[in-house]
Amino acid sequence: MAFEFFVKSDITFGRDSVKELSKVVKGCKAKKVMLVYDAGVKFAGIADTVLENLKTADVDIVIFDKVIPNPTNEIVEEAAEIAKRENVDAFVAVGGGSSIDLAKAIDVLMTNPGPIGRYGGIGMVENELLPLIAIPTTAGTSSEITNVSALIDTEKVLKYVVIDNKLVPSKVIIDPEFTKTMPASVTASTGMDAITHAVESYISNMATPLTEFHSLQGLKIIYSNLPAAVKDGSNMEAREQMMLGCVITGFGFSNANLGLVHGIAHTLSAHFQLAHGMANATVLPYVMAFNAESCPEKMVELAKAIDLPVTGNIDTDKYLLSDELLKLTKELGIKTLSEQGIREEDFEMLAEDVLHEPVLGFNPRQNITKEDILGILKKAY
């Protein structure tokens, strides 16, 4: 059986690798660069460090520091208008998934007509993009090496994705030192986002031997290092391994796609602005238990990958992973839906919207009903 596996990333990985930024920018032959980041990156001093290195590249710099969690169509259009007016010819995105996803979307509008919403879906972008250098500061989304930009349509009240191989950043600089300042709660939620990517892509009905390999290896690394990284943010070995696991997992899920966990998380973020990683983590154990009937063998393989005590009885072993994920979310302080301000009276509306999420097509268990989703939301409450 033939299958495709797309990898485009050019990665510089390791501590102090930000020092390579000037050389990378010069290699792009850029004259004016837009530096994209959020207030948290500025507050942590990371933006200033990047800016110092960028200045040595002898380019003009335009700063866009209005990145918001779950970037909207409006913020994309605003930033793109500035970039066009300033004749920007390259981008440097510093931060988590929101900053990198926003930069990708801005870049789309530099060489393709707007509005950005017309590119929702797979393979809708016509023209090649300008150079984009991604510098992640979290170990979670893998946006730095994926072909995806996740955005919010505030008019339709939905979170949608632009998926196109043209969106993969031209160059990636992964400096684990930049994750050291992340609060424990952010380390936990972004790490659980990465675990979600690993397990959902492994059981996806689009999975192939190559994606399965990356999903399993990424899961092993992330699961082994996440508690240590949350417990002690200065543990640079754990931080570095988290970044490595995130990249490996990204190669898997960007090819295999995701499933019901992300369908629910997208809807929660669209309506209530929940942080993406937290939204995923809250429902992850319950969706994995829901999916276990449809792919028991794969659930057992995931359990084996993280050394859970498999008994040989598939009827019970298929739930080992979901049980362990529930324990892990509690250990890491992942909040329930009620603790995040979601009300039970919101469930009907949320469940209706989840049914329209495209990612459900990649979920191993099909024919998902509104009642199924309501059951998961109630358990996560």
pLDDT tens digits, 249-296? 999 999 999 999 999 999 999 999 999 999 999 999 999 999 999 999
Tell me the average pLDDT across 175-181: 93
Is there a contact between 136 and 100 (Cβ–Cβ < 8 Å)?
yes
Tell me the average pLDDT across 198-223: 98
Which of the listed residues 146, 162, 179 is the one where a domain comes to its end?
A: 179
CATH number at residue 232: 1.20.1090.10
Is there a contact between 351 and 377 (Cβ–Cβ < 8 Å)?
yes
Residue 197 pLDDT grade (very low, low, confident, very high; cuts 50, 70, 90) = very high
Q: Has residue 339 got a pLDDT over 80?
A: yes
Q: Has residue 33 got a pLDDT over 80?
A: yes
Q: Has residue 1 got a pLDDT over 90?
A: no
Residue 160 domain boundaries: 11-179
23 and 163 belong to one structural domain: yes
CATH number at residue 157: 3.40.50.1970
Rounded Cα distance between 241 and 248, Å, is 11
Number of domains in the chain: 2
175 and 194 belong to one structural domain: no
Q: What's the gap between Cα 363 and its chain centre? A: 17
336 and 195 belong to one structural domain: yes
Q: Has residue 161 got a pLDDT over 80?
A: yes
Within 8 A by CB and 6+ apart from 156, the residues are none
Burial label, 22 (beta-carbon count in 10 A; 0-12, 13-18, 19+): middle
pLDDT of residue 209: 97
